[in-house]
Amino acid sequence: MEKVVGYLGLGNMGHPMAMRIADAGYNLLVFDINSEALIDFRERQIPVAESVRDLGDKADIIICSLPSNEVIREAVIGSEGLVTGGKVKTYINACTTGSNFAAEISEELTKKGIATLEAPISGGPPGARDGTLSIMASGPSKVYEEVKPILESYGKKLVFCGEKPGLAQVLKLANNILFATSIFATTEAIAMGVKAGLDPSLMLDAIQAGTGRNATVDLVMPNSVLNRAFDFGATIEILMKDVNLALEEGEKQGVPQPVSQQVRQMMLLAMHQGWERRDLSELVRLVENWSDIEIK
């Protein structure tokens, strides 16, 4: 019998990722506490679970895309969580949680005979929609090979980091702190050029072919800032969580992080201005406001 793939959490990333799985022909079952997130799935007659526990009762493999460790803990190992389901045998965490939390969840699920694979993703909502995400995985290699075709339905670059719980999380945090740093470094550089009289589009075109190339240059600036749409698809609050986790991991590993600490301070300024629910592309407004310019 074909295995049922469950998807928990249908937000900005989970929704397109789950749709990619459905488009690949898998027997998909979804759940989200937000009924509006389920509308597109109901319209396509994709089955919807009644609860998290119901998802665990009906799906063999469950992929999780939830916004915070607290929400994940309750949904996965809580009194009515996935762990109480009678069918689930494999849990795939697509969220950024940090290595300590990953190990905690893995330990609890192992007690119940549920295998855990960490598989955090990078590439943002556009990558999720296009199926071009980068996926960093760690956990039992046998489980990775079994679910790899599912991961390939929404990911283009898959990297298996090893079997140690949490390794994929460390790699994902390394990626995300670099991304957060690139937002501020790129904005400062582009602002300098704009104030000197350069066209920002011209600057980005040149930098994309040079050593300064990064995700902010390739994606954030041209697609969400120059047009003033500010619609990258992830909130400042979510990126703040990842920056904090990266700093915790660096401290745990004994690595000095003065640059990352400064990035955190910049993000705290945005948070303290009530910007936490704004799109992360709006972080450029901090530098714009101080420089008395708009990058457009």
178 and 135 part of one domain = no
183 and 158 part of one domain = no
Task: Write the burial class of residue 121 (CB in 10 Å: 0-12 exposed, 13-18 middle, 19+ buried).
Answer: buried
222 and 236 part of one domain = yes
Last residue within a domain, chosen from 148, 165, 182: 165
Q: Is 296 within the bounds of a domain?
A: no
Phi, psi at 10, each rounded to 5°: -115, 55
Last residue within a domain, chosen from 165, 193, 226: 165
130 and 98 part of one domain = yes
Give the pLDDT of residue 265: 98
23 and 160 part of one domain = yes
How many distinct structural domains can be found in the chain? 2
Give the pLDDT of residue 1: 67
20 contacts: CB under 8 Å, gap ≥ 6:
128, 129, 131, 153, 154
Give the pLDDT of residue 104: 95
Domain range spanning residue 119? Answer: 4-165
Q: In this structure, are residues 28 and 52 in contact, taking their beta carbons and an 8 Å threshold? A: no
Q: What is the 3-state secondary structure (H, E, C) of 233-295?
A: CCEHHHHHHHHHHHHHHHHHHCCCCHHHHHHHHHHHHHHHCCCCCCEHHHHHHHHHHHHCCCC
Q: CATH number of the domain that 231 lies in?
A: 1.10.1040.10
77 and 191 part of one domain = no
d(CA 171, CA 157): 14
132 and 184 part of one domain = no
279 forms bridges with which residues in the sheet? Answer: 235
53 and 110 part of one domain = yes
Residue pLDDT, tens place only, 171-218: 999 999 999 999 999 999 999 999 999 999 999 999 999 999 999 999
Q: Is 213 within the bounds of a domain?
A: yes
Last residue within a domain, chosen from 165, 186, 211: 165
155 and 23 part of one domain = yes
Which residues does the chain have with pLDDT short of 50? none
Q: Tell me whether strands 115-118 and 121-122 are parallel, antiparallel or unpaired.
A: unpaired
Task: Write the burial class of residue 65 (CB in 10 Å: 0-12 exposed, 13-18 middle, 19+ buried).
Answer: buried
3-state secondary structure of 56: helix
